[in-house]
Structure formats: C-alpha cells, structure tokens
C-alpha cells in the first residue's frame, strides 16, 4: 500500500474528502519525523514507537578491493512495534 491508497482507505472509512485525508496523514507523518529528528520519541499505544538510535562507528571492508574502511557513527531512525501490533501479525500466520 502506498500513500495514495492509504489516503483512499481513510477517506472512504471516515467520509472525509481525499484532500482532507491526505493533509491529515501528511501532517501526522511530518510531526513524527520532526520529533524523531530532534531526538524525541513518538509512542502510539498498541501500534509502536518511532525513535532515533545511534549506530556506532565500525570497520568495514570495500568489497571490490578488500581494503579496510572506517565507517563513521551515524543516527538512524528506528521503529519498535507495539504488543498489539505484534500479536495481530502473529495471529495472521
């Protein structure tokens, strides 16, 4: 499912226009992005949590030359699924 399909489903289920539904989805996603970007955590009970993690610096290898390369530390986004989310996925098997 992509953004347009998500907006279509939300519009159909809520009776709102697609424009309004798209604006709500984009605002929610932008808000999550801004909070995680500044180091915060967004927790949606039953769904999961979005947060920022630090990936430590490490050494790697250039696959073409075999040379050892130092990979710098970086910040990466993370998502941890909530218990209800995980349980629903387990039931679907």
Average pLDDT for 1-26: 97
pLDDT digits (tens, 9 = 90+) for 66-78: 999 999 999 999 9
pLDDT digits (tens, 9 = 90+) for 14-66: 999 999 999 999 999 999 999 999 999 999 999 999 999 999 999 999 999 99
Return the CATH number at 56.
Answer: 4.10.520.10
Q: Which domain holds residue 34?
A: 3-91
Banded pLDDT at 92 (limits 50, 70, 90): confident
* Backbone torsions φ then ψ of 77, nearest 5 degrees: -80, 150
This prediction has a pTM of 0.81
Instruction: Please state the domain count of the chain.
Output: 1
Strands of 48-55's sheet in order across = 42-44, 48-55, 74-81
Complete DSSP assignment for 18-84: HHHHHHHHHHHHHHHHHHHHTT--EEETTTEEEEEEEEPPEEEE-TTT--EEEEPPEEEEEEEE-HH
Task: Indicate whether 2 pLDDT > 80.
Answer: yes
Task: Indicate whether 93 pLDDT > 80.
Answer: no
Model pLDDT, residue 75: 96
Model pLDDT, residue 8: 97
């Amino acid at each position: 499912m992509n953004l347009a399909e998500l907006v279509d489903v939300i519009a159909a289920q809520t009776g709102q226009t697609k424009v309004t539904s798209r604006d709500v989805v984009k605002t929610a996603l932008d808000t999550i992005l801004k909070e995680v970007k500044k180091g915060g955590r967004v927790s949606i009970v039953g769904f999961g949590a979005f947060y920022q993690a630090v990936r430590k610096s490490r050494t790697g290898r250039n696959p073409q030359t075999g040379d050892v390369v130092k990979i710098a530390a970086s910040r990466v986004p993370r998502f941890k699924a909530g218990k209800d989310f995980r349980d629903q996925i387990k039931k679907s098997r």
